[in-house]
Amino acid sequence: MNALSEELTISAIQYDIFWENKKSNLNLLNRLITDLPQNTDLLILPEMFATGFSMNTALLAETKEGETVQWMKKVSTERKIAICGSIPFSYEGSYRNRFLFVHAGEVIAHYDKRHLFSYGTENEHYSSGSQNTIVEFKGWKICLQICYDLRFPVWSRNTQDYDLLLYVASWPDKRIEAWSTLLKARAIENLSYVCGLNRIGVDGSDLNYNGQSAIIDYTGEIMSKLNAKEELMSKTLKMSEMKAFRDRFGFLNDKDEFQIV
């Protein structure tokens, strides 16, 4: 699985998430994934893609045996792809906003959101993670991040030579300019491909989302960007082109050293 692949094709689906209704969301996704390009290696889904950004942890949180996790395993096996996205997760007596990365019917990595959105009381319902996660998939190093993490560049600083930075989000339209600006900044400062996947529609808290999901290259150039409708984007990333740019300019070699406490 970790043999180096020069190219990695990522596909991301932006859609209106049914509020706290796993069955409806998974049925919707079963329909939407029929349009996946045949060469897709990795399918990316939004933050809390099966429930919406809900604080109703007692009702919605799953374990590794849960309905959504089993669905991800099934899709990864049947479509022969990796699939990732976050869900409310129950872990050792606490709840986590957990980003799962699934391949070949197994959860091969996970990331628990570090920066909980206190403005929206997320910190009152979920426990924060403490470890960054880099997944190695087809020879690509992929860094997993969730929504509010985007505002904290130290946490995503490319000290582990990752190649792709993923943000799955529920980012409201009132602050969408920050979303678009910060995605480009993270790509530029880390010399990395970035995919930021948001949702659309109105959630159970009456927050409106207008998408603006994007795939951005290591120079900050937008490769693909969605507007405010249900849509799929797909791009093939090229390792050699990114590494040639890094070798030529070497900006990461001049980065500051630091420790996160």
Q: What is the pLDDT of residues 205-223, one digit of tens each?
A: 999 999 999 999 999 999 9
Maximum Cα–Cα distance across the chain: 52
CATH number (domain holding residue 49):
3.60.110.10
What are the pLDDT digits (tens) for 58-88? 999 999 999 999 999 999 999 999 999 999 9
70 in a structural domain: yes
pLDDT of residue 4: 81
What are the pLDDT digits (tens) for 221-249? 999 999 999 999 999 999 999 999 999 99
Mean pLDDT of the region 151-178: 97
pLDDT of residue 260: 87
Domain of residue 26, residue span: 7-252
CB 16 within 8 A of CB 46: no
Quote the distance between the C-alpha of residue 99 and its chain's center: 7
197 in a structural domain: yes
Mean pLDDT of the region 178-196: 98
In the chain, the number of structural domains is 1
257 in a structural domain: no
Residue 261's pLDDT band (cuts 50, 70, 90): confident
259 in a structural domain: no
Whether the predicted pLDDT of 1 surpasses 60: no
Q: Record the tokens describing residue 249, joined without a space.
A: 């300019």
Whether the predicted pLDDT of 151 surpasses 60: yes
217 in a structural domain: yes
67 in a structural domain: yes
Residues 208 and 172: their CA atoms lie apart, in Å, by 6
Task: Tell me what the pLDDT averaged over the chain comes to.
Answer: 97
120 in a structural domain: yes
Q: Record the tokens describing residue 112, joined without a space.
A: 């628990």
Whether the predicted pLDDT of 41 surpasses 90: yes
What Å distances lie between residue 13 and 35, 129, 169, CA to CA?
10, 26, 12
Residue 2's pLDDT band (cuts 50, 70, 90): low
Q: Record the tokens describing residue 185, joined without a space.
A: 């900044």
Amino acid at 124: E
What Å distances lie between residue 164 and 68, 191, 215, 216, CA to CA?
25, 9, 10, 10
CB 46 within 8 A of CB 14: yes
Active-site residue list: 47, 113, 147
What are the pLDDT digits (tens) for 110-134? 999 999 999 999 999 999 999 999 9
Neighbours of 130 (CB within 10 A): 8
173 in a structural domain: yes
Whether the predicted pLDDT of 3 surpasses 90: no
What are the pLDDT digits (tens) for 131-142? 999 999 999 999
Neighbours of 175 (CB within 10 A): 9
